[in-house]
Amino acid sequence: MANWRKRISIKEFFTESEEHEDIQISMNRIADELEKHYEFTHSPLLHRMRSIPNGDGVITPLDYANKLLSAMYDIADEELIWID
């Protein structure tokens, strides 16, 4: 069992919408919260969260956001940060 060094709460920033605008707002809010923690400032993750593409019919904004959230959780695991 991991000994988590800190906890970051972002669940209130998630959206159920699949619209680009709503996803972008959600990701901006998550990036704002992560920006407060030095563990996330050394990667391009925050910039990418603030630049969700519109999608192209194959990759949707939601797909892109989910990939970024996966990368966020990878960093959190490495840094022993619990994200909820």
49 lies in a domain?
Answer: yes
CA–CA gap between residue 23 and residue 49 (Å, rounded): 10
Q: Is the pLDDT of residue 2 over 60?
A: yes
Structure letter (DSSP) for residue 80: T
24 lies in a domain?
Answer: yes
Number of structural domains found in the chain: 1
3-state secondary structure of 20: helix
* Residues 14, 23 contacting (CB under 8 angstroms): no
pTM listed for this prediction: 0.92
CA–CA gap between residue 56 and residue 33 (Å, rounded): 28
35 lies in a domain?
Answer: yes
1 lies in a domain?
Answer: no
**Backbone dihedral angles phi then psi of residue 26, each to the nearest 5 degrees:** -60, -45
**pLDDT single digits (tens) 44-73:** 999 999 999 998 889 999 999 999 999 999
Domain range for 75 is 6-83
